[in-house]
Amino acid sequence: MDYFSAVDIITTKRDDGVLSDDAIAWILSAYMRGDVAEEQMSALLMAIFFNGLNGREMNTWTDRMIDSGERLDLGELSRPTVDKHSTGGVGDKISLILAPLVAACGAAVPQLSGRGLGHTGGTLDKLESIPGWRAFLTNDEIRAQLDSVGAVICAAGQGLAPVDRKLYSLRDVTATVASIPLISSSIMSKKIAEGTNALVLDVKVGRGAFIKEVGQARELASAMVGLGLSHGVATVAQLTSMNAPLGRTVGNALEVTESVEVLQGNGPSDVRELTLALARIMVELVGIDVDPETKLDDGSGYEVYQRMIRAQGGDPDAVLPVAACRDEVVSIEDGVVHTIDALDVGIAAWRLGAGRARKEDPVSAAAGVVCLIREGDAIVQGQPMFELHADDATHLQQGRDAITNAVVVGERNVNAEPLLLERITN
């Protein structure tokens, strides 16, 4: 490989130029070795933030991130593999239901998940509210569980796309997270390295999502689908609304309980609707001719869930943590609920103790919000709207302060907006 200069590469992208494949390979490798300074990589990330990467650059950037670590080999499994990734939302507990449900249909679902940050919850945090459950598995344990159970939800190994982990930490402190090329390559490098045959992307858009506008969500979805397809992974994206919280609960143990309710044939209709929509895409991508609704209704999905939790040391029948302090937030007026702001509810759950400001912060298993109303409901003064759960009075008050303006009440009925917005197949 030719010799490159970090300054020359930064200058090229600063001036809206195009980076060669060799230049991208060199700077990512040199950064991993410590030969490119943090301030130099910060400058390059900011240049990419403003000037982007074209399709070839983004493919190469993604390739080099994958090549920085190991790949999980799932080729010897007897079942076809398919995964789902969500860009994060409020009350988004879909993975807990979806992985065992799709496994019940005959696929293997390797869900390598993460933790929550800020107002968005993390799948691992939710499952860790189950006594004994463990997030960290070896590659051999992952393969064995996929063979025996069909589903695994666990932490991504340290060996998958390690340069992405280093870059993400830098992006977090340099205000360069919100870049579609960098988001796309970050997500897809890990998913491709995971070794799955197919992937469904749940791209959230709205008040409680990372992306607020449909156009931007469409652009991100299209970029990720393109990366997946170009790397031989059958990939489809579903844009979904995140203006209101998904389901009725926001918080770790609370969301586990709600997920179990859905797996047992009950639970909120929107959670069921989104789960089935994503499950149908997943089985379609791997050629399984089974309607997931049948596996939800006959209890097969719940049986796989129990086996999945037990396989990772958890007790699916254990009593989950319960908050020491609870309070209700009531309506101050009569009318019809026009909006429930997902961002406000997510921040309230975070302030109650369910979320974290930094990756190393602890979270409360019991804290969170129960939504007692839905958009379109008629409501009267004094009627409870939210139930707040916290471990102590201080967190309870912080959550109450954050949720004060979450609901807009009007005089007339409103039309409920659709949950499923658009499918992106590129």
Q: Would you say residue 357 has pLDDT above 80?
A: no
Residues 188/85, Cβ–Cβ less than 8 Å: no
Residue 415: the pLDDT is 84
| Amino acid (one-letter) located at 107 | A
More confident residue, 268 or 160: 268
Calculate mean pLDDT across residues 381-385: 98
Same domain, 268 and 344: no
CATH of the domain at 255: 3.40.1030.10
Give the domain range for residue 30. 6-52
Name the token pair of 306.
């129990």
Rounded to the nearest 10 degrees, how much is the dihedral formed by the CA atoms of 304, 306, 308, 309?
160
Reported as a pLDDT band with limits 50, 70 and 90, residue 177 is confident
Work out how many domains the chain is built from and give that number.
3
Q: 372: domain CATH number?
A: 3.90.1170.30
231 part of the active site: no
415 found inside a domain: no
Query: Which candidate in 86, 179, 185, 186 is catalytic?
Result: 186
Catalytic annotation, pick one of 190, 191, 248, 351: 190
Taking the whole predicted model, whether its pTM rises above 0.85 is answered as yes
Question: Over the stretch 105-130, which tens digit does the pLDDT of each residue have?
Answer: 999 999 998 887 667 778 999 999 99
DSSP label at 163?
H
Pick the catalytic residue: 63, 83, 125, 164? 164
Average pLDDT, the chain: 94
pLDDT in tens, 231-270: 999 999 999 999 999 999 999 999 999 999 999 999 999 9
Catalytic residue among 64, 119, 143, 171: 171
Residue 338 designated active-site: no
Q: Is the same domain home to 255 and 333?
A: no
Q: What's residue 2's pLDDT?
A: 62
Secondary structure letter of residue 350 according to DSSP:
I
Name the residue among 70, 85, 62 with its Cα closest to residue 140: 70
Model confidence pLDDT, tens digit, residues 86-105: 998 999 999 999 999 999 99
Alpha-helical segments (H) within 158-251: 162-173, 180-193, 214-230
More confident residue, 363 or 361: 363
* H or E element, residue 152: strand 151-155
Are residues 343 and 198 located together in one domain of the fold? no
pLDDT recorded at residue 329 = 98
Please indicate whether residue 171 is annotated as part of the active site.
Answer: yes
Question: Which one from 13, 79, 84, 85 is the annotated catalytic residue?
Answer: 85
CB 315 within 8 A of CB 309: yes
- Let me know if 85 is a catalytic residue: yes
